[in-house]
Chains A and B, each alone.
Chain A
Amino acid sequence: MDLEVIDKIADRYKRKESALIGILQDIQAQYNYLPKEALLHIRERLSIPLTHILGVATFYNIFTLKPRGRHLINVCMGTACHVKGVVRILEKIERELGIKTGETTADLRFSLEPIRCLGCCSLAPVVKIDGDIYGKVKQEKVSRILKKYE
């Protein structure tokens, strides 16, 4: 791991503990997850206990300590999407990728995670991949959507 990258991130926030969330977000943007070595290095750089860092990292849903795939699939599990049959879409994606919700494919291509309401219920059922929103998703559309991401 390139610790200079971590140093740069820490320096950008003036190595303040109050900027911990921002630092962790930047690390995650870099590696797709929060690697242990990176957190250990942040502990030295900020001179704070590891427990403080992990307390924050395990509290917020956006952070993950396990490696994530290159693309993150968020399936909306909100009420409207549920009524519109998102569960079948989710099952279809699981079958297509051969993983369960919360897991990552072996080739690190996709991670599949549920999300509670994306706020665009008129498009239900909704699937979000990286920054792209797919509305009114049908089972037969799933594999074509997934093919767009390498």
Chain B
Amino acid sequence: MIKLTIDNREVEAREGATILEAARKVGIEIPTLCYHQALTAYGACRVCTVEIIRKEWSRLSTACTYPVQKGIEVKTNSEKVKRARKMILEMLLARCPNVKKIKDLARDMGIEKPRFELDNEECILCGLCVRVCEEIVGVSAIAFFNRGTEREVNTPYEINSDVCLGCGACAVVCPTEAIKAEDIKEIRKIPLWHTELKKRKCRLCGEFFAPEVEIDFLKKKDARLGEEIFETCPSCRKKELGNKILYTNSRRRKYV
């Protein structure tokens, strides 16, 4: 274990942990936009900026990417941090003036209206969607393209991706709700990625429950689960399982 100080508190963390993880473990909250515990830290939004004092040298760094070190002193709310975080949020707010989460964070820092004016955007290029698509879903349907002020998240050639499953993980993980996955009858739509996929009908209730390509993808991943599971919607699956348990002789009850 590594000993360090966060906001004047003695904290212990395992080697390789980040400052953010160490702080959260003891209940010290550091605001973030681009961090998700299931994904690799990326340090894109800079909102988690903290002051790190090591051998009397003070520097600012992102808590989500900085590994804990023996004897360092971390300040999550010093004047230096506040000044930096305020500037970062003012710039984020200038980019996305209508995103609630950013407005709230900016208000916490005392900013109502940014001094700068930019195009009204919703995406802050945090890369959570890109990471979840690559690391968790494993298809890499979207990525960052171009660079500098042109940088954007999109699908290759800005047309419907041939590998997108329409799973909507990107929409779930998006901190600014810039990505929206919508269901219109038998179609799953993610307009930002030009995705439009046909959904499968549940064999029991007849509801459309998930995109065909997503189900086929999952089937390929684990064929042992049997055909039926991939034809049944989650709520019917639950009901069916419940009935099986209920009607099985109680002494020889088997949970499937």
Contact = CB atoms under 8 A, between A and B. Distances in A.
A54 B147 contact: no
A51 B147 contact: no
B48 interface: no
Interface string A43-76: 0000001111011001100000000000000000
B143 A55 contact: yes
Contacts of A49: 134, 139-141, 143, 163
B143 A52 contact: yes
B179 to A, nearest CB: 16
Contacts of A58: 145-147
A135 to B, nearest CB: 30
B217 interface: no
Contacts of B163: 49-50
Contacts of A36: 157
Nearest to A39: B156
Interface in A68-89: none
A59 B147 CA distance: 5
B96 interface: no
Contact of A54 (B134, B139, B143): B143
A60 to B, nearest CB: 8
B159 to A, nearest CB: 11
Contacts of B145: 54-55, 58-59
Chain B interface residue count: which class? 10 to 19
Given A49-B163, A59-B146, A59-B147, A54 B157 contact: yes
A43 to B, nearest CB: 9
A51 B143 contact: yes
Interface string B130-148: 0000100001111111110
Interface string A130-147: 000000000000000000
Interface string A15-38: 000000000000000000000100
A54 B143 CA distance: 9
Contacts of B143: 49, 51-52, 54-55
Output the residue of B140, B141, B143, B144 with the most chain A CB within 10 A.
B143
Contacts of B155: 51
B144 A55 contact: yes
Interface string B151-167: 00001110001010000
29 contacts: A36-B157, A49-B134, A49-B140, A49-B141, A49-B143, A49-B163, A50-B156, A50-B161, A50-B163, A51-B140, A51-B141, A51-B142, A51-B143, A51-B155, A51-B156, A52-B140, A52-B143, A54-B143, A54-B156, A54-B157, A55-B143, A55-B144, A55-B145, A58-B145, A58-B146, A58-B147, A59-B145, A59-B146, A59-B147
Given A54-B143, A54-B145, 15 more contacts: A36-B157, A49-B134, A49-B140, A49-B141, A49-B143, A49-B163, A50-B156, A51-B142, A51-B143, A52-B140, A54-B156, A54-B157, A55-B143, A55-B144, A55-B145
